[in-house]
Chains A and B, each alone.
Chain A
Amino acid sequence: MTADTVTKARGRRGLSETPGFNTGAVAGIVVVYLGMVGMIEAFSDRPIITDYINFGPLLILLIFYFFAYAAIGRPMNEGAVFQTGITVGVVGGLLTGVFLILVEIGESAGYQVRDVFISISPTMRDVLSFGFGPYVGTVWLTAIGALMGLLAVLTRRLQPELRAAVFSALSVLMIGALGATLFRVMLDGLSIPTRWLYRSDGLTLIGTVVILALAIGIRLYVRRQGGARMVALSLPGATDRNLPRVLIGLIAIALMALPWIVNTFVSDVLGTVGLYILLGLGLNIVVGFAGLLDLGYVAFYAVGAYVTAILTSHASYLVTDNPLRPSPDTFTNFWIAIPITVFIAVAIGLIIGAPVLRLRGDYLAIVTLGFGEIIRILVTSDWLKPYLGGPQGVTDAERVPFFGLNTRDPRILYYLILAFALFAVFISMRLKDSRVGRAWAAMREDEDIAEGMGVSVIKYKLLAFAMGAAIGCLGGAFFAAKLSVANPGSFTLLVSINVLAVVVLGGIGSIPGVVVGSLVLVGLPELLREFGEFRLHIYGAIIIAIMVLRPEGLIPDKRRAMELHAIEVHEGAGPGPLSAASAEGVQ
């Protein structure tokens, strides 16, 4: 097609042509990268199996393993499989070793590498060389890399069923070990003894064996029985017909029981997850259903929090001519504040939305980002300080009155947020399948054709903005109620990007995706304290990875997935990547 292909055809054999070499080099770079940004060190004293292996070194092994596994995914002949797999590991290990040796040479020549790259610490180098120093460590790294390559080849050769079982067992093991603190609390809550399973944040050897055996066993058994369906059907009263209802019931029971099994901290985290589910569902309507990328979504979150906080605050420093607060003593009940908040958020959604809706997708994204930043700057400024409290924000928001219950208790608040999140899920689902939802789908697929078919594009776009604003501001309202404060520091662009990451990870347009995305991106980093520090780093990586590898997300919305792949099909038929220009509709 292009000169590139021609060069390849001419043949330029070298190291990079050896199968597995490039993948191995990438694996090595990834390991070195993780070391240089400090992840390896941060995870190095997190035990997976106490006294045997920590997460830091395990991460290195896993990287070699997975790259080797991926490299041999393509069909190739017998001998090449072994060669490729092992090459990946060896090259990866060697590269990591070379990095260590270079650092060592630099240090001994008097350069303080750490003055520049703060993460290249002695601890990190120790973990990376498995404690053997750079030179012997290189040998070790290479050997371990080769071993991982070999393991990858061997697992590839397992029966598919057994392989799936092994993989899921190992995943369960990792989750069980990394979530040690959480699961321990949960098991304690159910008064199940945990001493045999966990020791100082990691699994015990016995625990590891039991988990592995159980997970493989269950997986194989369930496979044979036809999966989770059979498990659900074995419940009394369950039949094929009411199966979805039984499943929903089970999930509902689990959700209701959760706060009483876990401690208050986890309940608090669950509350935050709930807030992000609300925000995610709102953004999902705008981005997923209507296809409008809103990067200023945090504005509605902020509006929700601020309006609610101002209405319910006891703070005395707000001026008396505040339109929302006629006199300092009048503060509104939270439940009356909510409709007012929603009303104001929708109005702002329309004011922001109306002028920009004629814009093309990417410009729309940037304009909304601009609006979001404008709102943040205004809120922080001295100018509006008498109304919005400036950098300090609005404090002393009243807690949610709810039948005399103590709603400062995260467990009670969890139920309230859960109720609202479920309500938002319900609205989203109904909207999606309604006439409105179909209009949105038509509009995002092709605006001009939709308009030609009689869909009032402006009206439906405004409706999407309004719905998104309404649901997002509920998240804000609960934020204010949860922390009893609305301050500008909590409403930065990063929130918009986090919510976007939640939607993207779960699958753009997918409602269950939002729930899963929130649990993974908001819940996990709060619970795994080592990850917390790298949270945004990982968000960025996840957004790129999802968009490049699986743009439809983890739990794809069928229709959306089809749209995202439609162009590739078209491309396959056309003259290769060059048809991109016409696919973008530039002509």
Chain B
Amino acid sequence: MATIDGPSGSQNKKSWRVVIERFPVRRTILWILSLTIIYGVIVGTTKTLALGLFDADDWISFTIQGLTRGSVYALIALGYTLVYGILLIINFAHGEVFMAGAYTAFFVAMGLHGQGFLNAQPVLSLLILFAVSAAVSTGVALVLEKVAYRPLRGKPRLVPLITAIGASLFLQYTFRGFYGASARAYPEIGVLAGTVNLAGINVQKRQILVVVGATLLWLALFFFIERTRTGRAMRAVGEDREIAALMGVDVDKTIRITFAIGGALAGAAGILFVQIFNQVTFAMGFLPGLKAFTAAVLGGIGSITGAALGGLILGLMEAVGPNLFLTGLVPSPNQLVDLVAFGILVLVLIFKPGGFLGAPEEKRA
């Protein structure tokens, strides 16, 4: 890029044109953008703290909320990261994979609830819900791979992305057709209501379930990828598909498995998600999907640890950010929660597209 300063001292017309042409427009805009944001954050934080609306307990509770949300984002983000790590495509429809499982499991939950099973056998019920949700999401992810992505391998990168956008729309409206357009409330599990006191901090039981569940699943995936034969095959295909095939790895099968694992994790994330947000609709997948993608990019897309890290950071920023930065600046800051996620998305992609743990941004394809 043109960053070398022209001979600005000379006064003739031509060199002025050189100065103007070589003026680093992009950099200037970037600088102004980052300075504005830093200034806004500092001013907002001071103003908010000066207002003194929240005490220490509030901040702790925001943090716990953030960690809870963040663990769900992290689980969904794993799906993006796995697929991206292997195929280098953004599976834009992953949010819908997540929705499919959670929404379908809703009917099972209602059935269990109707018979009183949900409260009588909460552990078993939860396991059933996890299984149903993960199975449905896996199924959807596999169909998606077969119908929408497999025929497009080797096409220019934008082609699968456009397809993914179409698939996202298609899946949303398919499930709208199946289950209807109205939002529905998940039945609550009695055991999970209420709070417990952990080292002097009141934590909701379902928040513990979400964080513990997500951590366990993440660990399981980590060991699967690092320690099993299939995991090694997945890493090999991600490194170099051609050579992996020469070494006897069944590339097609590995890609299918990747989609299946991403789907299963998304389905499990769906059950955790409804523990916090309590509602299902056909459109519920879009925003969490996008935020999970943000988390994946933030942590470094392609990296499993990065997805967890990114998810937690994004969750914390979302729960703490609007309250901390914006309360002092604007009316009703909670309308702007999504702004935090999108803001992070844009800023990370502009300033550090490799994320925290990802490989440095490779040459453009």
A305 close to chain B: CB less than 8 A: no
Identify which of B44-52, B188-196, B214-222, B332-340 touches chain A. Answer: B332-340
Residues of A contacting B365 with CB < 8 Å?
360-361, 584-586
Residues of A contacting B331 with CB < 8 Å?
382-383
B148 close to chain A: CB less than 8 A: yes
A357 close to chain B: CB less than 8 A: yes
Closest 4 CB pairs between A and B? A543-B166, A37-B177, A540-B170, A580-B154
Whether B169 contacts A355 by the Cβ 8 Å rule is no
Q: How far is the CB of A66 from chain B (nearest CB, A)?
A: 17
B39 close to chain A: CB less than 8 A: no
Whether B350 contacts A534 by the Cβ 8 Å rule is no
Q: How far is the CB of A444 from chain B (nearest CB, A)?
A: 9
Residues of B contacting A118 with CB < 8 Å?
178-180
Q: Which of A117, A361, A542, A582 contacts B158 (CB 8 A)?
A: A361
Whether A117 contacts B179 by the Cβ 8 Å rule is yes
Number of A-B contacts (CB under 8 A): 216
A142 close to chain B: CB less than 8 A: no
B33 close to chain A: CB less than 8 A: yes
Whether B335 contacts A586 by the Cβ 8 Å rule is no
Report the Cα distance A239→B6, complex, angstroms: 59
Q: What per-residue 1/0 map shows which CB atoms of B139-167 lie under 8 Å from chain A?
A: 00000000110011111111111110111
Report the Cα distance A184→B69, complex, angstroms: 56
Report the Cα distance A462→B26, complex, angstroms: 10
Beyond A2-B245, A377-B339, A568-B154, whether A37 also contacts B147 by CB under 8 A is no
Q: Which of A119, A539, A578, A584 contacts B178 (CB 8 A)?
A: A119
Q: A360-B157, A541-B166 are in contact. List 13 more A-B contacts (CB 8 A).
A: A4-B253, A118-B179, A355-B29, A360-B365, A365-B158, A370-B343, A373-B342, A377-B336, A382-B332, A500-B162, A501-B166, A543-B167, A548-B152
Q: How far is the CB of A445 from chain B (nearest CB, A)?
A: 10
B250 close to chain A: CB less than 8 A: yes
Report the Cα distance A350→B171, complex, angstroms: 34
Whether B159 contacts A497 by the Cβ 8 Å rule is no
Which single residue of chain A is at the shortest CB-CB distance from B110? A115
Report the Cα distance A377→B350, complex, angstroms: 20
Q: How far is the CB of A549 from chain B (nearest CB, A)?
A: 8
Which single residue of chain B is at the shortest CB-CB distance from A355? B350
Whether B159 contacts A355 by the Cβ 8 Å rule is no
Beyond A371-B346, A544-B163, A548-B163, whether A579 also contacts B154 by CB under 8 A is yes
Interface set, chain B 236-280, CB cutoff 8 A to A:
240-242, 245, 250-253
Report the Cα distance A295→B165, complex, angstroms: 10
Beyond A354-B26, A361-B157, A382-B330, whether A540 also contacts B353 by CB under 8 A is no
B303 close to chain A: CB less than 8 A: no
A293 close to chain B: CB less than 8 A: yes
Residues of B contacting A37 with CB < 8 Å?
173-174, 176-178
Q: What per-residue 1/0 map shows which CB atoms of A509-548 lie under 8 Å from chain B?
A: 0000000000000000000000000101101111110011
Residues of A contacting B25 with CB < 8 Å?
354, 458, 462
Report the Cα distance A355→B3, complex, angstroms: 15
A427 close to chain B: CB less than 8 A: no
Whether A543 contacts B349 by the Cβ 8 Å rule is no
Report the Cα distance A371→B339, complex, angstroms: 10
Whether B154 contacts A571 by the Cβ 8 Å rule is yes
Residue pairs across A and B with Cβ atoms less than 8 A apart, 5 shown, are A361-B161, A363-B297, A374-B339, A497-B169, A578-B245
Interface set, chain A 98-134, CB cutoff 8 A to B:
115-119
Whether A536 contacts B161 by the Cβ 8 Å rule is no
A282 close to chain B: CB less than 8 A: no
Report the Cα distance A83→B363, complex, angstroms: 53
Number of interface residues of B (CB under 8 A): 70
Q: What per-residue 1/0 map shows which CB atoms of B24-52 lie under 8 Å from chain A?
A: 01100110010000000000000000000
With most chain A CB atoms within 10 A of its CB, the pick from B152, B154, B252 is: B154
Whether B242 contacts A564 by the Cβ 8 Å rule is no
A16 close to chain B: CB less than 8 A: no
Beyond A3-B250, A377-B338, A381-B336, whether A358 also contacts B157 by CB under 8 A is no
A366 close to chain B: CB less than 8 A: yes
Report the Cα distance A115→B108, complex, angstroms: 12
Whether A547 contacts B159 by the Cβ 8 Å rule is yes
Whether B346 contacts A543 by the Cβ 8 Å rule is no
Q: How far is the CB of A450 from chain B (nearest CB, A)?
A: 12
Residues of B contacting A381 with CB < 8 Å?
330, 332, 335-336
Report the Cα distance A4→B249, complex, angstroms: 11
Whether A119 contacts B177 by the Cβ 8 Å rule is yes
Which single residue of chain B is at the shortest CB-CB distance from A364? B349
Interface residues in chain A, defined as those with a beta carbon under 8 Å from any beta carbon in chain B = 1-4, 33, 36-39, 115-119, 291, 293, 295, 351, 354-363, 365-367, 369-371, 373-374, 377-378, 380-383, 447-448, 458, 462, 497, 500-501, 504, 534, 536-537, 539-544, 547-548, 551, 563-564, 567-568, 571, 575, 577-586
Q: How far is the CB of A121 from chain B (nearest CB, A)?
A: 12
Report the Cα distance A575→B240, complex, angstroms: 14
Report the Cα distance A501→B170, complex, angstroms: 12
Interface of B is mostly: helix
Whether B245 contacts A458 by the Cβ 8 Å rule is no
B293 close to chain A: CB less than 8 A: yes
Report the Cα distance A541→B165, complex, angstroms: 10
Which single residue of chain A is at the shortest CB-CB distance from B163? A547
Q: How far is the CB of B110 from chain A (nearest CB, A)?
A: 8
Q: How far is the CB of B123 from chain A (nearest CB, A)?
A: 25
Whether A539 contacts B169 by the Cβ 8 Å rule is yes
Residues of A contacting B56 with CB < 8 Å?
none
Q: How far is the CB of B352 from chain A (nearest CB, A)?
A: 12
Whether A373 contacts B338 by the Cβ 8 Å rule is yes
Beyond A543-B165, A548-B151, whether A537 also contacts B170 by CB under 8 A is yes
Beyond A2-B245, A383-B331, whether A36 also contacts B167 by CB under 8 A is no
Beyond A497-B165, A584-B157, whether A536 also contacts B346 by CB under 8 A is no
Q: What per-residue 1/0 map shows which CB atoms of B301-320 lie under 8 Å from chain A?
A: 00000000000000000000
Beyond A383-B336, A567-B155, whether A366 also contacts B242 by CB under 8 A is no
B120 close to chain A: CB less than 8 A: no
Q: How far is the CB of B47 from chain A (nearest CB, A)?
A: 14
Report the Cα distance A504→B161, complex, angstroms: 12
B71 close to chain A: CB less than 8 A: no
Which single residue of chain B is at the shortest CB-CB distance from A367? B349
Whether A116 contacts B107 by the Cβ 8 Å rule is yes
Report the Cα distance A585→B362, complex, angstroms: 10
B88 close to chain A: CB less than 8 A: yes
Whether A578 contacts B242 by the Cβ 8 Å rule is yes
Residues of A contacting B176 with CB < 8 Å?
37, 537
Q: How far is the CB of A417 from chain B (nearest CB, A)?
A: 26
Whether A543 contacts B26 by the Cβ 8 Å rule is no
Whether B349 contacts A359 by the Cβ 8 Å rule is yes
Which single residue of chain B is at the shortest CB-CB distance from A544? B166
Beyond A293-B161, A547-B166, whether A577 also contacts B250 by CB under 8 A is no
With most chain B CB atoms within 10 A of its CB, the pick from A548, A563, A564 is: A548
Residues of A contacting B342 with CB < 8 Å?
370-371, 373-374, 377
Which single residue of chain A is at the shortest CB-CB distance from B364? A360
Which single residue of chain A is at the shortest CB-CB distance from B89? A362
B100 close to chain A: CB less than 8 A: no
Q: How far is the CB of B141 from chain A (nearest CB, A)?
A: 15
Report the Cα distance A447→B174, complex, angstroms: 38
Whether B240 contacts A370 by the Cβ 8 Å rule is no
B65 close to chain A: CB less than 8 A: no
Q: How far is the CB of B150 from chain A (nearest CB, A)?
A: 9
Whether B1 contacts A458 by the Cβ 8 Å rule is yes
Whether B346 contacts A370 by the Cβ 8 Å rule is yes
Interface set, chain B 83-130, CB cutoff 8 A to A:
88-90, 107
Residues of A contacting B160 with CB < 8 Å?
547
B137 close to chain A: CB less than 8 A: no
With most chain A CB atoms within 10 A of its CB, the pick from B159, B167, B169, B179 is: B169
Report the Cα distance A38→B177, complex, angstroms: 6
Report the Cα distance A291→B163, complex, angstroms: 16
